[in-house]
Amino acid sequence: MLDSTSATIHLDKDEAEFVIRDEAQKLPCDIVLDTEPRPRLSFKLTGLHPLRVWGSQQRLSIHLVHADVNCEAFFASANDGIVALCAAREPIEVGRSDELIEVHFDLINFPSFCTLGTPSSRLPEDHLDLDAAGWHLEIRPPRQSPDIKAFRSPLHLITHSCVMRKSDNEAFSAKEAHHLLDIVHDVMSFAAGRWVAPVLVSGFGKDQQIVWKEWGTRPLHPNLGRIETWFDTHNGQTLAEVLSGACELRKNAERAETFHSSLYWYLRSTGLAAGVDGGIVLLQAALELLSWQFFVVERRALSREGFGRLPGDDQLRLLIESCKIPTNIPPGLTDLYCKAKELNWSDGPKALAAVRNLLVHPSTQKRLPYYDAWRLAEWYVELVLLRMLSFSGVYSDRTRAQRWVGAVDAVPWAKP
């Protein structure tokens, strides 16, 4: 049910139990998804005076009786006798089931794409079927629904509607579904260059009734315009291999955590807020973390102390070479190439480490090629993350002097 006067989707009704000022409360509660100015899960309580919340403890622990959900929330607003609390964490799982057949969800802020059906033909825009690690995921254009029309945020738009199920059509658990949605969140965000998120998640049982839900969204970035990444939007089929690799990666918790942390820094670096100079620092942090994972944690080729004694460019060079990524500065990065020649920077890792050091510890007023250094760092992180996912397909190379949609290259380690 939708609120006709605002961009709000009513998810459920319940009773909320909580304690405020040492007094137990049990009040009617509407669970809603507000979509302006951004999607946000809220609990709207009837019968609570705003002054009872205002000035009290910052966080309330709430028990939703019928949903049997415990969560924490903050005071958000009060209007016309209704107090709105904002969920402290999203999404919130509702219901439990080991007999799910399908999960439906919508995707916010993923770019439009095309997919090769055969070597000489394309599928309709925004149509893709992915099979990975025993799962089948269907991605389609947005469904027609009042829910979709309620999204009136200028910077958040439902761009795709999706269905996931087991490839063999067998039942699966809510825990498995939640786990796969986390993977989808990472994979689609990596492709988009910003956090994109599933929303309006519903799990269906054998009788086609909803037996499990997620309220709210995962981390989400506003759409401030097109972001160019490794993902070429005329080759949407590459998402299948990335999803398969991400499912396999999740079997190693420590490796998966390193991937997720590096992805976080990568996505921070692509946004307008960081800028290319701030982005260089964030990307260097991601590369150092990845190098640590490869050579200290996994291969045990270096001790903690030994790794710490290596110069920054050597840490990068070990990582780049081990992933079979060329260490020479790509010729498309003209400004960086010329500056490296002038200052005797021997290769890409040396140039990137030098630019980062001069940025953080300035000792000269010389102009530095920050934009090219940022492009090089983005390229390195993208390729190392793709390597972690065992990806061997085609990608869009951001170091090219001229870059256009549809022009792709094989990843370096897959070239003959």
Residue 40 lies in a domain: yes
Residue 280 lies in a domain: yes
99 and 75 in a single domain? The answer is no
Q: How many residues does the chain have?
A: 416
Residue 233 lies in a domain: no
d(CA 165, CA 247): 15
Residue 359 lies in a domain: yes
220 and 301 in a single domain? The answer is no
79 and 168 in a single domain? The answer is no
Confidence bin at 108 (pLDDT 50/70/90): very high
192 and 268 in a single domain? The answer is no
Task: Output the average pLDDT for the chain.
Answer: 91
Confidence bin at 2 (pLDDT 50/70/90): very low
d(CA 169, CA 172): 9
Confidence bin at 50 (pLDDT 50/70/90): confident
What kind and span of H or E run contains 9?
strand 8-20
What range defines the domain where residue 116 resides?
93-227+239-243
pLDDT at position 3: 43
Over residues 294-321, the pLDDT tens digits come to 999 999 998 989 998 999 999 999 999 9
Pull the structure tokens for residue 231.
């993902």
Residues in Cβ contact with 95 at an 8 Å cutoff, skipping those fewer than 6 apart:
67, 174, 203, 210, 211, 212, 213
Pull the structure tokens for residue 236.
């949407």
**Structural domain total, the chain:** 3
The mean pLDDT value for 160-173 works out to: 97
d(CA 394, CA 131): 18
72 and 138 in a single domain? The answer is no
Pull the structure tokens for residue 351.
């140039």
Contact by Cβ (8 Å): 376, 348: yes
Own/partner contacts of 164-168, CB < 8 Å, gap of 24 or more, are 164/102, 164/103, 164/105, 164/135, 164/136, 164/137, 164/138, 165/101, 165/102, 165/103, 165/135, 165/136, 166/134, 166/135, 166/136, 167/131, 167/134, 167/135, 167/136, 168/134
Contact by Cβ (8 Å): 63, 39: no
Whether the full predicted model's pTM is greater than 0.85, yes or no, is yes
Pull the structure tokens for residue 141.
């254009």
**Alpha helix positions (H), 271-369:** 275-292, 304-309, 312-322, 334-343, 348-360
pLDDT at position 6: 59
326 and 178 in a single domain? The answer is no
Angle at 378 between CA 307 and CA 265, to 5 degrees: 65
Question: What CATH number does residue 44 fall under?
Answer: 2.40.10
Residue 246 has pLDDT above 70, yes or no: yes
283-303 core/surface letters (b: 16 or more CB in 10 A; e: else): bbbbbbebbbbbbbeeeeebe
Residue 56 has pLDDT above 70, yes or no: no
166 and 61 in a single domain? The answer is no
389 and 323 in a single domain? The answer is yes
Least confident piece of the model among 115-119, 122-126, 199-203, 351-355: 115-119
Percent of the chain with pLDDT over 70: 95
Question: Hunting for tokens 């260097």 — which residue is that?
Answer: 284
Contact by Cβ (8 Å): 110, 188: yes
Residue 232 lies in a domain: no
Percent of the chain with pLDDT over 90: 75
pLDDT at position 78: 83
* HSE-up (13 A, CA, CB side) for residue 342: 11
Highest mean pLDDT pick, 27-41, 55-69, 109-123: 27-41
* Whole-Å CA distances, 49 to 15, 85, 211: 16, 13, 34
d(CA 210, CA 201): 10
Least confident piece of the model among 48-52, 100-104, 192-196, 239-243: 48-52
Q: Of 40, 73, 89, which residue is a domain's last?
A: 89
* Whole-Å CA distances, 271 to 195, 325, 376: 10, 25, 16
